[in-house]
Structure 1
Amino acid sequence: MDLQSALAWLMGPEGIEDPYPAYQALHEHGPVVQVTDSMFVVVGYDAANQILRDPSISVVNEARLDRDWPAWRTNRAATLLTETVLLTDPPDHGRVRPLLAGWFSARRVADLRGFVREQSDRLADGVAGRCAKDGVADLVKDFALPLPVWIMCHILGVPPSDHRWFEERAGDLLIVMEASPQPEELERGNRTTREIEAYMTDLVAARRRRPADDLPSALVAAHDRDRTALTAQEILSHLVLLMAAALDSTAYLLANGLLHLLRHPEHATRLRADDGFAQPYVEELLRWDAPSQFTVRRATSTMRVAGTTLPPDAEILILLGAVNRDPRRFDSPQEFRPDRPGNHSLSFSAGPHFCFGAPLARLEAQIALPAVLRRLPDLTLAGEPTRLNRRAIRWYGRVPATATQTTPQTTTGAVPQTVSVA
């Protein structure tokens, strides 16, 4: 496959279903592929690692948005993201990030282990109930999507009665990050962002009146101590972002992981029997089929990467899915090997914009995947999964599954069939 054919594959329907043949072809053209005078595609692991860790590299800025999407300022989802650490450079990025990252430290994530296990078990019970009642469960709607939403709601202090409301909306928040979203999708993302921002406005007001042990209360306190450290609008923008990030970092990982387990029962059998297998399985899953397939950066000055000179203001498309299958870094990268030594993907990025929610995403996957498999020993696919029309995110709209055997319930009482906690 030549360069133009590989790029056409990625931009066509084949790129949504399976981008990896194109990635494999791009590797034959080197770690950094020049597409135009100012556009470069990065598929090499070392090259991507260098760029992501370089503090002088910029994320997508307003000038690029003005060029590529003149109407972006009318879409609240887009403008909100530019107010967050996701799309800001120093000094704003370094000013705000520590206030958020501390809530996802190793210690805090370890403290959530029991809660994650409890919620995973409750949802696994719900999947069992759905199979018993309807014959088929949807592993996206009934498990992969609600779990990270519930966990993030817990961190944000959202009451259980509102969990379902967020389940129905969280998936629309990052549609603006897609390569070519449809107008109706952009409008839905715009509407949903405004709804969630209004909810967070009320939540922040409630925490100002009565603080609690949650992230909104901590951000309000940081703002009250020093309003130059965090503005009132930045509080709202980041609370909305975190709800979206719960899906970006975990729900897609869970859906992809469950589907792979159902298609490879030997891994499911091992995961049921061996607690220690969860960690290497999740790491290989992150490498082999990264939930987030690409990220964009901009060079602020001339730089040399893998023998290629990038000019100032060069646009850099880092194909994380290709980077994680770089044959220069990983032996037989197309093979799924859970026991792969030295397995470290770039699925959560690296450097200043490394995903601070990565430890929580890993914990959720390591606990949740065995939980549903043990609850349903004969869980199998009940039809073809439905993949959403997404390029930036490897995501399924539906993964139908069925089971006839169940182990005893792991929680007291059944989860309602709406999979929301009452």
Structure 2
Amino acid sequence: MDPRAAFEALGTTEGRQDPYPYYDAIRAHGDLVPVKKGSLVAVGYRECTRVLREPALQVQDGTAFDRVYPEWRSHSSVCAFTDSMLYSNPPKHTRQRGTVNADFTPQQVARMRPVIEDMTTRLLDRIADLGADGSPVNLMDEFASRLPIAVVSAMLGFDADRQVWFRDIASAIAVSTDGFTDPAALATADAAMDELADHFGDVITRKRGCPAADIVSALVRLHDSDPAKLSHDELIGNMMLLLTAGFETTAFLIGNGALMAIDNPRYAALLRTQQPFAAAYVEEVLRFEPPVHVTSRWAAADVTMFDQHIPAGSRVVVLLAAGNRDPRRYPDPNRFDPGRANSQPLSFGGGVHFCLGAALARLEAQTALPMLARRFPQITLADTATYRDRWVIRGLRTLPVTTGRAVTASRR
């Protein structure tokens, strides 16, 4: 298949449901492949890694949007992402990320383990009740998405009684990361962002009057003390980013990990009985079926890599999920194998934009998946799992299961 045709197919329903054959079709033409004038696609592990770490290749910020989507300012969801650290480059990115870096160090995140364990136990209790009569339970709705939104809400200091609302609205906003290809979905994302911004305004007012030991209280204090360090739009944008990024990708990681364990009883047994196995298992889930499939970079200056001249203004699409299945890096890459050594998947990106919440996502999955396997040793699929019709952030829409006999939860 022509590489341009393969790349464009990734934007179709068929491509979004199973993108891997199209990744391989592009790879057949090389590992850093021009697909049209001014656009290249990286599918090799080495090439993706280099692009992510090259200072001359930057994320799509407002200036880049001006070149390709001049109407972007009319979309509040896109504006919010552009005001956040996600779509910012140094020094703006460095300044914004510095406001929350300390809250996401591995040491700080490790303190969340008891909270994650408690929240997981409560959700498993709910699932046991829902499935006690043999009724199917959608693990995506009742577990994989509820746990991350509960954890990030606790860290940010958001209302616990609005977690399902946060989940649904964050999911709607995240569609805007797929770009401008679906006007109807983008309009829904804009409406959701407007509603969330109104709510955030109320949250900010409450935090000013009654600050607490949470991330949003700290951000509000910083903004009020020195708006040059964090403007109002940046405050809203980063609150939105921390909510959406801390929820959906981790939900998909947990959902994918649960599905693979249900499909492979041997791995479920190891999750139940061997504590160290969870870390290796989660790393292989991240490699084999990552929540984030693609990111992109724009050339701020001419750059040459791997004998390819990339002129200023060019776009390089980084297919993280393709790099994770590069046969030069991973023998038998299309086989799920938690025993792989030194895996180091690309799933959290790289360079200055390496995912801020990587340690938290890993901890949630490494905690939740063994607890799920122990609580429901007889869990089986009740029907076929289905994927959402999305590509950039790709994951399960439904994971219907019957729980079987539940093991009584141990209480501390």
Question: TM-score surpassing 0.5?
Answer: yes
Q: Which residue does the alignment assign to 1:210?
A: 210
Matches within 5 A, 1:51-62: 51-62=51-62
Q: Which residue does the alignment assign to 1:27?
A: 27
Is the 8 Å Cα contact of residues 179 and 391 (structure 1) preserved in structure 2?
Answer: no
Is the 8 Å Cα contact of residues 77 and 193 (structure 1) preserved in structure 2?
Answer: yes
Deviates more, 1:207-216 or 1:132-141: 132-141
Q: Which residue does the alignment assign to 1:322?
A: 322
> 1: CA distance between counterparts of 2:248 and 2:267?
24
Q: Which residue does the alignment assign to 1:304?
A: 304
Is the 8 Å Cα contact of residues 31 and 306 (structure 1) preserved in structure 2?
Answer: no
Deviates more, 1:281-290 or 1:190-199: 190-199
C-alpha change, 1:134 and 1:197, in structure 2 (3 Å) is: farther
Question: Is residue 132 from structure 1 mapped to residue 132 from structure 2 by the alignment?
Answer: yes
> 1: CA distance between counterparts of 2:396 and 2:68?
28
User: Any idea what the Cα deviations from partners look like across 1:162-188, whole Å, max 9, x if unmatched?
Assistant: 222212322111111115653332122
> 1: CA distance between counterparts of 2:163 and 2:300?
42
Question: Is residue 227 from structure 1 mapped to residue 232 from structure 2 by the alignment?
Answer: no
Is the 8 Å Cα contact of residues 125 and 375 (structure 1) preserved in structure 2?
Answer: no
Deviates more, 1:218-227 or 1:1-10: 1-10
C-alpha change, 1:263 and 1:345, in structure 2 (3 Å) is: same
- The one-letter code matched in structure 1 to 2:277 is F
Deviates more, 1:311-320 or 1:157-166: 157-166
Q: Which residue does the alignment assign to 2:358?
A: 358
Q: TM-score of the superposition, structure 1-length normalised?
A: 0.93
Is the 8 Å Cα contact of residues 125 and 410 (structure 1) preserved in structure 2?
Answer: no
Question: 1:214 offset after TM fit, Å?
Answer: 0.2
C-alpha change, 1:168 and 1:134, in structure 2 (3 Å) is: farther
Q: Which residue does the alignment assign to 1:405?
A: 405
Question: Is residue 111 from structure 1 mapped to residue 122 from structure 2 by the alignment?
Answer: no
SS of the aligned residue for 1:40 comes to strand
Percent identity, aligned pairs only? 34
> 2: CA distance between counterparts of 1:12 and 1:165?
29
Q: Which residue does the alignment assign to 2:87?
A: 87
Matches within 5 A, 1:134-149: 135-149=135-149
Q: Which residue does the alignment assign to 1:75?
A: 75
- The one-letter code matched in structure 2 to 1:22 is Y
Is the 8 Å Cα contact of residues 57 and 298 (structure 1) preserved in structure 2?
Answer: yes
C-alpha change, 1:84 and 1:168, in structure 2 (3 Å) is: same
Q: Which residue does the alignment assign to 2:193?
A: 193
Q: Extract structure 1 runs of 4+ deviating beyond 6 A.
A: none
Is the 8 Å Cα contact of residues 303 and 310 (structure 1) preserved in structure 2?
Answer: yes
> 1: CA distance between counterparts of 2:301 and 2:44?
21
Deviates more, 1:353-362 or 1:43-52: 43-52
Question: 1:9 offset after TM fit, Å?
Answer: 4.0
- The one-letter code matched in structure 2 to 1:203 is V
Question: 1:4 offset after TM fit, Å?
Answer: 4.6
SS of the aligned residue for 2:325 comes to coil
Q: Which residue does the alignment assign to 2:277?
A: 277
Is the 8 Å Cα contact of residues 122 and 410 (structure 1) preserved in structure 2?
Answer: no
User: Any idea what the Cα deviations from partners look like across 1:129-161, whole Å, max 9, x if unmatched?
Assistant: 111146110010000111110001001112322
Question: 1:395 offset after TM fit, Å?
Answer: 1.6
Deviates more, 1:352-361 or 1:225-234: 225-234
C-alpha change, 1:44 and 1:373, in structure 2 (3 Å) is: same
> 1: CA distance between counterparts of 2:297 and 2:44?
15
Deviates more, 1:276-285 or 1:265-274: 265-274
RMSD over aligned Cα atoms: 1.7
> 2: CA distance between counterparts of 1:165 and 1:14?
30
Q: Which residue does the alignment assign to 1:151?
A: 151
Question: Is residue 335 from structure 1 mapped to residue 332 from structure 2 by the alignment?
Answer: no
SS of the aligned residue for 2:259 comes to helix
SS of the aligned residue for 1:328 comes to coil
C-alpha change, 1:73 and 1:133, in structure 2 (3 Å) is: farther
Q: TM-score of the superposition, structure 2-length normalised?
A: 0.96
Is the 8 Å Cα contact of residues 42 and 316 (structure 2) preserved in structure 1?
Answer: yes
> 1: CA distance between counterparts of 2:371 and 2:204?
34
- Kindly tell me the number of residue pairs found equivalent between the two proteins: 412
> 1: CA distance between counterparts of 2:124 and 2:246?
19
Question: 1:2 offset after TM fit, Å?
Answer: 4.5
SS of the aligned residue for 1:82 comes to helix
> 2: CA distance between counterparts of 1:286 and 1:303?
30
Question: 1:353 offset after TM fit, Å?
Answer: 0.5
C-alpha change, 1:91 and 1:342, in structure 2 (3 Å) is: same
Q: Which residue does the alignment assign to 2:367?
A: 367
SS of the aligned residue for 1:168 comes to helix
> 2: CA distance between counterparts of 1:57 and 1:282?
30
- The one-letter code matched in structure 1 to 2:249 is S
User: Any idea what the Cα deviations from partners look like across 1:269-308, whole Å, max 9, x if unmatched?
Assistant: 1111111110000001101111111001101112122221
Q: Which residue does the alignment assign to 1:41?
A: 41
C-alpha change, 1:194 and 1:8, in structure 2 (3 Å) is: closer
Q: Which residue does the alignment assign to 1:376?
A: 376
Gaps spanning 5+ residues in structure 1: where? 413-422
Question: Is residue 236 from structure 1 mapped to residue 236 from structure 2 by the alignment?
Answer: yes
Q: Which residue does the alignment assign to 2:172?
A: 172
SS of the aligned residue for 2:114 comes to helix
Question: 1:71 offset after TM fit, Å?
Answer: 3.2
Question: 1:368 offset after TM fit, Å?
Answer: 0.6
> 2: CA distance between counterparts of 1:34 and 1:113?
45
Question: 1:396 offset after TM fit, Å?
Answer: 1.7
SS of the aligned residue for 1:318 comes to strand
> 1: CA distance between counterparts of 2:197 and 2:61?
22
> 1: CA distance between counterparts of 2:181 and 2:374?
38
Question: 1:7 offset after TM fit, Å?
Answer: 2.8
> 2: CA distance between counterparts of 1:96 and 1:34?
33
Question: 1:359 offset after TM fit, Å?
Answer: 0.3
- The one-letter code matched in structure 2 to 1:201 is G
Is the 8 Å Cα contact of residues 104 and 360 (structure 1) preserved in structure 2?
Answer: yes
Is the 8 Å Cα contact of residues 118 and 411 (structure 1) preserved in structure 2?
Answer: no
